[in-house]
Amino acid sequence: MKKLLLPLLLFLLVETALPQQVFNSLELIKTIEVEGRQGVAVDSNYYYVSGSKAIFKYSKEGKLLLTNDNPFSSLTKEANHLGDIDYYNGKLYAGAEYFYDGSASNIQIVIYDAETLEFDSFFSWEPESGQQEVCAITVDPKNNLVWMADWIDGSYLYKYDLTNGTYIGKLHIYPVPEKQQGIKVYKNQILITADDGDAEYEESDHLYAVSILESESSSKVSLIKTFNDVKRQGEIEGLTIDGIENTLIVHFNRGMRVVNGMPIGFYPGYEKEIHELYIYKIVD
């Protein structure tokens, strides 16, 4: 028996050190065209979509129900950009910032009422954290945290107290997904979308995951999905998980040529950029 014990212990150690499988498989159910090119959140009845300067509320059938096209009007610190958003407990959480000439300032966690889309409150960011930009936000109720991701330097995910907005610390992730766009907490992991495929060369973007390990300062990134099933390669944006419908929802933009972060016209067959939600059934 003792001869078996050591290999068994080693096996268990290796098994627990590996990241758990997030999805057995994902089946694309449908796509919904939306306004807004940044992110998505969901509650039991509605989808919420963020544009750079607006928030939209949709039925799950894709009908536009409400728009807030002035989301910065109640802020004391100037902002001109929203990233990927999240829903928690009747509120929408958004990362807002003033983005100009490739750099960001006035990063803040802005909270909106999900029913009305009106401003509710905000938390300021901690500049000493080293965070340079906010591309996405996700609420982590289990750990009482709000997490933020950084498009400029994605080496860390930054965490704040969900109750009072105090900066808690940061999680080093490796290897770093390039051009992060969205984050979402799911099963004690953080899912990350990255616009790391170049649409000029028909390259796919990707979904990654890192485990939330409270005892560790760093966490290994695992590749979860390659988006080779989109209508045309473009820019992946935010994501969310619908726990009621058991779906993964990923926001994509296609049609606009973006080179070095600058829009330079459209691909053949396109007269405008198309924003879509891809809805995938999660097969556990």
The contact set with Ca ion (CB under 5 A) reads: 39, 41, 84, 86, 195, 197, 199, 205, 235, 238, 240
CA distance 158 to 36: 25
Least gap, CB of 228 to Ca ion (angstroms): 12
Closest approach of Ca ion to the CB of residue 184, in Å: 5
- Separation between Cα atoms, residue 165 and residue 225, nearest integer Å: 32
Note whether 38 and 238 are within 8 A (CB): yes
Residue 104's Cβ-side half-sphere holds a number of Cα atoms within 13 Å equal to 24
Q: Least distance in Å: CB of 48 to Ca ion?
A: 8
- State the minimum distance, in angstroms, from the CB of residue 164 to Ca ion: 22
Residue environment code for 251-272, b if the CB has 16+ CB neighbours within 10 A, otherwise e: bbbbbbebeeeeeeeeeeeeee
Nearer to Ca ion, 3 or 266 (CB): 266
Cis peptide before 175 (omega within 30 of 0): yes
Closest CB to Ca ion among 173 and 277? 277
**3 state SS of 166:** coil
- Closest separation in Å from C-beta 136 to Ca ion: 7
For Ca ion, the closer of residues 79 and 235 by Cβ is 235
Q: How would you classify the pairing of strands 206-211 and 218-226?
A: antiparallel
Q: Which parts of 77-175 are beta strand (E)?
A: 81-88, 91-100, 103-113, 119-124, 136-140, 145-149, 156-161, 167-174
Residue 130 Rama label (left phi>0; alpha psi -120 to 50; beta)? left
- We find the least distance from the C-beta atom of residue 275 to Ca ion, in angstroms, to be 14
Closest approach, Cβ 138 to Ca ion, in A, equals 7
Tokens of residue 124, six digits: 């300021």
CB 263 → Ca ion: shortest distance, Å? 13
Q: Which is nearer to Ca ion, 9 or 223 (CB)?
A: 223
Question: Which backbone phi and psi does 227 adopt, to 5 degrees?
Answer: -85, 70
* Cβ-based nearer residue to Ca ion, 140 or 205: 205
CB nearer to Ca ion: pick between 170 and 238: 238
* Beta carbons of 60 and 246 less than 8 angstroms apart: no
Comparing CB distances to Ca ion, the nearer of 43 and 205 is 205
Nearer to Ca ion, 148 or 199 (CB): 199
